[in-house]
């Protein structure tokens, strides 16, 4: 009888140990702010003369898993050039200096606050294409609003949250806070340097997890 009890106890210990080994330890969700990501471009419309020249210049690439700007040709999720934002998924629009897409990244714009967007809507995700970017360019079309002359100010549109699938199939969300250096409370397009993104982001590092 004692032998049976010992065998049962040993079995329970082994079973409990195997259960613990099989349990998946989820990584912590990352919530951060990134200041002054510089995304310059060459060309475009000269605000003083109104003349246009072809747009060029490297996109500034960002990787959510590292939380850093990267020069990698492959390990990037989202990239910025002036007001244009692209993802590492789909196909190139064909602009000068635009990087090739070699990941599975996608994006959509959700309406609400960062706190209110708690999960990913897979059906809404789209990728860049030769017909246009997944995040539409132009004031009032995508992430920002443009206030014309004499102000000429670019402002993130309140309630526009960018939701991403990353190049390796994880998920993230982003709220752009400012387009001007050091994120001034009341930016002036003539005195504050532009093309400096400040944004909040939340990164879900766990494979297959859609919630934030």
Model pLDDT, residue 31? 98
| Residue 119 belongs to domain spanning | 30-204
Model pLDDT, residue 23? 65
**4 in a structural domain:** no
Measured from the Cβ of residue 101, the count of other Cβ atoms closer than 10 Å reads: 18
Model pLDDT, residue 52? 83
**195 in a structural domain:** yes
pTM for the complete prediction?
0.86
**155 in a structural domain:** yes
**158 in a structural domain:** yes
Closest CA to 79 of 94, 65, 98, 60: 60
Determine which helix (DSSP H) or strand (DSSP E) holds 83, and give its type and residue range: none
Domain count, the chain: 1
**CA 106/CA 101 separation, integer angstroms:** 11
**105 in a structural domain:** yes
**13 in a structural domain:** no
**211 in a structural domain:** no
**179 in a structural domain:** yes
Contact between 65 and 205 (Cβ < 8 Å)? yes
Model pLDDT, residue 165? 98
Model pLDDT, residue 188? 97
Q: Which residue has the tokens 């939380």?
A: 67
Intervals of the chain under pLDDT 70: 1-23, 46-50
What 3-state DSSP class applies to 118? coil
């Amino acid at each position: 009888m004692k032998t049976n009890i010992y065998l049962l106890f040993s079995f329970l210990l082994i079973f409990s140990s195997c259960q613990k080994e099989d349990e998946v330890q989820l990584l912590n969700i990352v919530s951060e702010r990134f200041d002054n990501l510089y995304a310059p471009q060459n060309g475009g419309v000269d605000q003083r003369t109104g003349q246009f020249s072809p747009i060029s210049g490297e996109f500034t690439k960002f990787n959510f898993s590292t939380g850093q700007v990267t020069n990698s040709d492959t390990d990037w999720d989202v990239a910025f050039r002036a007001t244009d934002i692209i993802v590492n998924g789909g196909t190139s629009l064909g602009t000068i200096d635009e990087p090739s897409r070699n990941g599975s990244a996608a994006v959509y714009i959700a309406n609400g606050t960062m706190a209110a967007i708690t999960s990913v809507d897979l059906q809404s995700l789209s990728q860049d294409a030769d017909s246009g970017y997944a995040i539409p360019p132009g004031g009032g079309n995508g992430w920002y609003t443009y206030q014309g002359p004499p102000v000429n100010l670019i402002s993130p549109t309140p309630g526009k949250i960018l939701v991403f699938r990353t190049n390796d199939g994880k998920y993230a969300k982003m709220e752009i806070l400012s387009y001007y250096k050091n994120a001034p409370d009341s930016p002036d397009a003539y005195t504050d340097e532009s093309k400096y993104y400040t944004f909040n982001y939340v990164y879900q590092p766990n494979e297959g997890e859609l919630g934030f």
